[in-house]
Amino acid sequence: MSEASATQDDRLHQASWLTQLLRRPELGAVAGTILIIAFFAATAGGTGLFSPKGIVTFLEVSAQLGILAVAVSLLMIAGEFDLSLGSMIAFAGVIIAIPSTVLGWPVWLCVLLAFVVAAGVGYLNGLLVVRTGLPSFIVTLATLFILRGLTLGFTRLITGRTQIPGMKELAQNDWLAPIFSGQFGGSVLAWAADIGLIGKRPDGLPEVQGIPVSILWWFLLTAAGTWLLLRTRFGNWIFASGGDANAARNVGVPVTRVKIWLFVLTALAATLFAAIQVLSVGSADTARGLQKEFEAIIAAVIGGTLLTGGYGSVVGSMFGALIFGIVQIGIFYTGIDTDWFKAFMGAMLLAAVLFNNYVRRKATESK
Amino acid sequence: MNGAQPIVELNGVSKHFGSVQALRDISIQVFPGEVCCLLGDNGAGKSTLIKILSGVYTPDDGEMRVEGQAVRFASPRDALDRGIATVYQDLAMVPLMSISRNFFMGREPVKRMGPLRVFDHFFADSVAREEMGKIGIRVRDPGQAVGTLSGGERQCVAIARAVYFGARVLILDEPTSALGVKQASMVLLYVEQARARGLGVIFITHNVNHAYPVGDKFLLLNRGRSMGYFRKDEISRDQVTAMMAGGQELAELEKRLSEARAAGNRPPA
């Protein structure tokens, strides 16, 4: 008798464990990541994609997108889009580059200025959306064009061209620049090379001499975003605002404030992305950040975030960004023409959306 | 229980929007441990009346008193602070969020962890489980989405939430209208339970069959005017039905249909 009830308990326990797993929004993205790694291990296993150097390469791509995806997934869970994200990247890049190259301002001051201006733009985006009640899709589509136009117009007016080179030298002597463009872990990597964990180049230096600091930013922001979403009051307000803004307002959730803050956060993430790019590449370009708004949305959606809001995961968006990076770099390693990359990502997006819809239906199905 | 003083009352309240008179000279008293049913057809002014009670609108005329004290609510928050909680028909819950997240939505419990204030999930889950248990709904997992609950259970979660957060007056906006018989009776039983605990309940509905068994008093509204405020012993179920605009019109409709049938014609369009 006791044995029978014990086995029954076990079964119950197992069922709830499975539903718990199915309820995780990031399930699809984790499964997708495993699938993608298996696929490239099979097709490009010997090419060095999964060597330390290859890993750092795709992690850097993933990290830059992942930084955006943290903010974008939070904003999407709150039920809004920010299509101006890509333009904001170019805008912020130019704000960093023009004063420092033309006016000779210190780089750290320009970076600070870019963050302040971005916060203003994000605030304006948010204010327009919540005050007009228009879909954020339309409002930020407008700011997408406005920001891109301003970036191009001012840059050409001031510098006579659309690219601003020469940031590398300026960044070298700046105290703030290394936290955006630097590398870390050099000594650990050197030690790893010495004991044979990772390979050495013919000149005796380790195969990888440092890990781009953007990867650290990505992990830290993902952790912070996850904590914010799942472990704070504000996180509950994010879910509530996106799930049903009216219901949330009726129980006293400051929906307006939540949404405006998340627009600000998204603009700040775009600026962080811009600072990382401008300072590590060494130039600003008015064409930077093109389509990044869509890539970030793809990463968030692959990560289990619903387009309609109210449901999603920051950790999921990290895996979404990881898939993005592995595929983008992996395709190059397999020798397949990289032209196919976008078709592949589009198909991934579609598969993710279908899967998410299915999971959501399962998660909220009446007994 | 203090039965001498109404927990909430309106005296001669009016409200208009532009040229439309939504409410005209409405008076109502709700005592603790009493279910007051607000009956009326669409457009009778039920929604305007609950929005005044819950602090969404301020009345143009007349006064509102809570426990004898004249009040003027600037926002729903003010009403909540005075213990007047409104449970909206379909806007109470976010289906994709868990039961405990919904239960504490807007009033999340926090605990301090060093300098940080953290959502206390353990507390939220255990309270949600316990409060649901009190009304006879066994929640296996407070982390399950509210969307997995039945309509009646969902309504009960919303009411339990209001009660837990210290509501002394519950305003229930059509809590049963979207539900089947079985689900509706679950909600009605819970309304009775809340009444027995000494809460004042304002129950808005256009379904006499739901209102009559549970109600102590009935306010009938038609085109913004009160058609009378009756105690249960003053009025029968049929009288309530007949007095509602729907009742009159149904009788009219019945008459016209039978005339048309007798004449062997199609009813005029």
pLDDT tens digits for range A109-165: 999 999 999 999 999 999 999 999 999 999 999 999 999 999 999 999 999 999 999
Q: A12, A17, A77, A251: which to substitute to probe chain B, counting the most B Cβ within 10 Å? A: A251
Per-residue pLDDT band at A299 (split at 50, 70, 90): very high
**Lowest-pLDDT choice from A39-43, A67-71, A116-120:** A39-43
Q: Please, which pLDDT band fits residue A8 given cuts at 50, 70 and 90? A: very low
Of B106, B118, B145, the CB nearest to A248: B106
Nearest residue of chain A to residue B93 (CA atoms)? A247
Hey, are the CB atoms on A239 and B140 less than 8 Å from each other?
Answer: no
Per residue, what are the HEC states of chain A?
CHHHHHHHHHHHHHHHHHHHHHHCCCHHHHHHHHHHHHHHHHHHHHHCCCCHHHHHHHHHHHHHHHHHHHHHHHHHHCCCCCCCHHHHHHHHHHHHHHHHHHCCCCHHHHHHHHHHHHHHHHHHHHHHHHHHCCCHHHHHHHHHHHHHHHHHHHHHHHHCCCEECCHHHHHHCCCCCHHHHCEECHHHHHHHHHCCCCCECCCCCECCCCEEHHHHHHHHHHHHHHHHHHHCHHHHHHHHHHHCHHHHHHCCCCHHHHHHHHHHHHHHHHHHHHHHHHHHHCCEECCCCCCHHHHHHHHHHHCCCCCCCCCCCHHHHHHHHHHHHHHHHHHHHHCCCHHHHHHHHHHHHHHHHHHHHHHHHHHHCCC
What pLDDT, on the 0 to 100 scale, is given for residue A363? 65
Say which residue, A351 or A216, is predicted with more confidence. A216
Q: What's the mean per-residue pLDDT of chain B?
A: 85
Give chain B's residues under pLDDT 50: 1-2
A228-250 pLDDT, tens digit each: 999 999 999 999 999 999 888 87
Q: What local confidence, expressed as pLDDT, does residue A361 receive?
A: 75
Q: Is A244 on the interface with B (CB under 8 A)?
A: yes
What are A163's strand-pairing partners? A285
Q: Which residue has the higher pLDDT, A367 or A40?
A: A40
What does the pLDDT look like over B78-105, one tens digit per residue? 888 889 988 887 656 888 899 999 999 9
Q: Complex ipTM above 0.85?
A: no
What's the gap in Å between the CA of B248 and the closest CA on chain A? 35
What's the gap in Å between the CA of B56 and the closest CA on chain A? Answer: 10
Q: Which residues of A touch B119 (CB under 8 A)?
A: 230-233, 235-236
Q: Give CA separation, A242 vs A80, A235, A253, A310, B137, in Å.
A: 8, 11, 11, 4, 27
Tell me which chain A residues have a C-beta less than 8 angstroms from the C-beta of B76.
250, 252
Of B76, B77, B97, which has the smallest distance from its Cβ to A243's Cβ?
Answer: B97
Number of A–B residue contacts, CB under 8 Å: 91
pTM: 0.84
Q: What percentage of residues in chain A have a pLDDT greater than 70?
A: 92
Beta strands B200-205 and B110-113 are: unpaired
Say if residue A221's pLDDT is above 50: yes
Q: Best interface-test mutation with B: which of A16, A227, A236, A307 has the largest number of B CBs within 10 A?
A: A236
Going by C-beta distance under 8 Å and a sequence separation of 6 or more, which residues neighbour residue B158?
Answer: B87, B88, B92, B93
What are B79's two structure tokens? 């009403």
Nearest-angstrom CA–CA distance, B132 and A120: 45
Reply yes or no on whether the pLDDT at A13 is more than 50: no
Q: Give Cα separations from A87 to A83, A127, A146 (angstroms).
A: 8, 18, 8
Which of B86, B97, B117 is opposite residue A240, by nearest beta carbon?
B97
Confidence at residue A135, expressed as pLDDT on a 0 to 100 scale: 95
Q: Are B223 and B45 in contact (CB under 8 A)?
A: yes
DSSP label of B145: B
More confident residue, A202 or B92: A202
Q: What gap in Å lies between CA A20 and CA A14, rounded to an integer? A: 10
Give yes or no for residue A331 having a pLDDT over 60.
yes
pLDDT of A10: 42
Calpha distance B226→B154 (Å, rounded): 32
- Mean per-residue pLDDT, A337-359: 83
Residues of chain A found within 8 Å of residue B106, distances taken between Cβ atoms: 237, 240, 248, 251-253
State mean pLDDT over A198-210: 83
Looking at residue B132, its pLDDT comes to 84
Q: Which residues of A touch B110 (CB under 8 A)?
A: 232-233
Among the partner residues B92, B119, B149, nearest to A235 by beta-carbon distance = B119
Judged against a pLDDT cut of 50, whether residue A42 lies above it is answered with yes
Is A253 an interface residue toward B (CB < 8 Å)?
yes
Chain B residue with minimal CA distance to A239?
A: B97
